[in-house]
Amino acid sequence: MALAFCASNLAADGMDMSDAPRDVGSDASLEPVREVLSASTDPDNPTAEELRDLLERTHRIAVVGLSRFPEKAARRVPAYLAARGYEVVPVNPSAERVLGRPAYPRLTDVPGAVDMVMIFRPSDQAGAFVRESLRRPERPAIWLSEGIRADEEIADARSQGFAAVQDLCAYKVHVNLPPRPSEPPAPGRRDPSG
């Protein structure tokens, strides 16, 4: 399963503590992100440069389907992002708290603006959450994790000018980006020298 693979990369990369910075302006510094993008089944996903910019301007992420179970990618990826300084807002009707934060039963219950809605639900359920995201007044970016697609809804989001990503692991993208100046060191960040 694709999400399990994403989670296995988290575990494997957690052993590599290399966090050497890359030249943020260098096109070559984004080559690892391009490799990750090439594995996605959606050729219309944003470019490596657009993903870098999106993650740089994102601060608050509502995570639909954030799991209570630590072994799941739907818990490990958001936990990684929270550890990197993002404010993660759990959306899970079966939990009161996740990652030490209050969980909201529905995306519409999340107070305040979010920069991104990240969706960890099966493909046959993801479209409804994309449509819900499109109704938010702040027009958040929408990110469906690896193995999750909602082609019709994502095409609609893109036609409305939303940044929309599908079938792509945010951890794999983030860990391969050059670190932001204010970001804590990331376990698993690759050393650009080899």
Exposure string for 160-173, b = 16+ CB within 10 A, e = fewer: eebbbbbbbbbbbb
pTM (2 d.p.): 0.83
Report which residue type is found at 15: M
Whose CA is closest to 37, among 149, 121, 146, 127?
Answer: 146
Q: Where in 11-157 does DSSP place strands (E)? A: 60-64, 87-91, 97-98, 101-102, 116-119, 141-144
Q: What is the pLDDT of residues 144-176, one digit of tens each?
A: 999 999 999 999 999 999 999 999 999 999 999
Comparing 83 with 185, the larger pLDDT belongs to: 83
**Which H helix or E strand runs over 3?**
helix 2-14
pLDDT at 190 over 90: no
The C-alpha R_g of the chain, in whole angstroms, comes to 16
Comparing 3 with 79, the larger pLDDT belongs to: 79
Percent of the chain with pLDDT over 70: 79
CATH of domain 2-13+26-175: 3.40.50.720
Domain range summary for the chain, segments of one domain joined by +: 2-13+26-175
